[in-house]
Amino acid sequence: MSLQSIKYSRGSLEILDQLLLPVQSKYLAVKGVEDGWKVINKMQVRGAPAIAIVGCLSLAVEIFPEEFESKKRLRQEVEGKLNYLVSARPTAVNMKIAADELLTLANELTKDETIDVTEMKQRFLCATEAMLKKDIADNRAIGSHGAQAILLRVAEAVGTAGPVRVLTHCNTGSLATAGFGTALGVVRKLSELGKLEHVYCTETRPYNQGARLTAYELVHEKFPATLVLDSMVAALLRSKNVAAVVVGADRVAANGDTANKIGTYQIAVVAKHHGVPFYVAAPLTSIDLAIPSGDHIIIEERPDREMTHVGEHRIAAPGINCWNPAFDVTPANLITGIITERGVFKPAELKEAIGKLLES
């Protein structure tokens, strides 16, 4: 059974504090938007899909017990709080897209003279809650499409789609989504099909999401898995017959350039050198067609302390300067395919294909 990072019932939201894993499993109550902003910003919840869901559900929890004098007042409350939530982690586009969708709904409901403020609030809550179910369904579709793409590629290369070895980076599983996962969902599907020989995960410095979270999930699922240091990837791809690299994404530009956890870019470069297919697994909500290329993606920079300390223990020399971008951008020409819930697309095909899907 997959781990549950988000527990929600109407009026109640709890998140698994990922800063405490794998040593301690503790759920935190999120009682409103301020709590939602804090757990996102402090990375107690992380992963672009989970950020969007927790952010929106924190708003649902806040407005659930409130009574509003008018639909206009409710819409103003929704708009202000959603804009605030987007500021918590600006690189992850899912929160911005979810906020835009909910604000569009609020505007439509405000104009609809056939419903009152009570019905408007009810519909808004239902739309927010539907995001949980949709994310899990989307992740399962991503897993199926990704597993099929990897196995087909292997079959074309060696004549048989036997069990495969894959490498993943950061954490993209149940802890980063509502459930199942994106890149780790592909791994789960390979396992379900009996086609997973081994999965390697990077430690993912400086926050160690791979060592703390992905390894935790892999052990929980009893997958055949090995943790490697970030600096070992070149040696791994040279010696371990890895069939594919599959990672997640925080934002994908219209040309296929992809922002993901720092270290993704260098893995893509190494994979290209060794002829290993490099896949990005992400829902359509992570694709931002308004951004033409990765050069336009805002990269969040995190505090020096994340590099200089592990917990309360300093590991870097006092006085050293630090540069700590949370993400890097992998150019589209290094990406074999972008795995979505609607299929796998080559980066060059992405803008046109996604545009058609969004129109349909």
Interatomic CA distance for residues 330 and 247, integer angstroms? 11
**pLDDT, mean of residues 287-309:** 95
| pLDDT band per the 50, 70, 90 thresholds, residue 277 | very high
Tokens of 175: 């802890």
Q: What is the mean pLDDT of residues 307-333?
A: 96
Share of the chain above pLDDT 70, in %: 99
Is residue 288 annotated as part of the catalytic site, yes or no?
no
User: Does pLDDT of 192 surpass 70?
Assistant: yes
d(CA 340, CA 285): 9
* Residue located via tokens 């020399």: 317
Question: pLDDT of 38-69, one tens digit each?
Answer: 999 999 998 889 999 999 999 999 999 999 99
Would you state the pLDDT for residue 1?
A: 56
* List 230, 250, 288, 328, catalytic entry: 250
Percent of the chain with pLDDT over 90: 90
- In contact, 145 and 279? CB cutoff 8 Å: no
- Mean pLDDT of the region 311-324: 96
Q: What is the pTM of this model?
A: 0.89
- SS3 sequence of 117-177: HHHHHHHHHHHHHHHHHHHHHHHHHHHHHHHHHHHHHHHHHHCCCCCEEEEECCCCCCCCC
pLDDT tens-digit readout, 6-45: 999 999 999 999 999 999 999 999 999 999 999 999 999 9
